[in-house]
Amino acid sequence: MFLTALDSFYYKPLVKDGHIVKNRVVLQCHIIWETESEAEVVVPVGFEFDLVSVPWWLGFMAQKLGRHQRAAALHDWLYYRNIGPREWSDRQFLLAMKADRVSRVRRWLLWRGVRRVGFASWLRHSLRIAKEDNEG
């Protein structure tokens, strides 16, 4: 469950070199999520994410804007940091959407999407973390 209020969730467009970066935003508040085991996950202020990664051909079913945005920010953070196994991260996404009262159909569509194609993002972040660990 979220330990931060939905009305405190906000973000701004990502700006680099004076230009807005398409499909990227910066979290302006922290998000605290309590897992089923009562562990807390904190998504920090300043985290950059893409609202929701949806192929153009699915855009009509799962728009970038909606009740699922906070859950998407949490899910992107879980992937970015490789917190827990991928299946667990995807389950947190599903539970977070339910907590924010995302419709059952939209929850299922978005969750199935990350289950089907999320491995590429998960792998990219796993490799990035491994590289950072080897360099540091």
In this predicted structure, what is the pLDDT of residue 53?
Answer: 73
pLDDT one-digit tens code per residue, 54-66? 666 666 666 666 7
- Tens digits of residue pLDDT in 16-55: 999 999 889 999 999 999 999 999 999 999 999 988 776 6
Using a cut of 0.85, tell me whether the model's pTM lies above it.
Answer: yes
Residue whose C-alpha is closest to residue 9's, from 70, 60, 59: 70
What are the tens digits of pLDDT across the range 60-102? Answer: 666 666 788 999 999 999 999 998 899 999 999 999 999 999 9
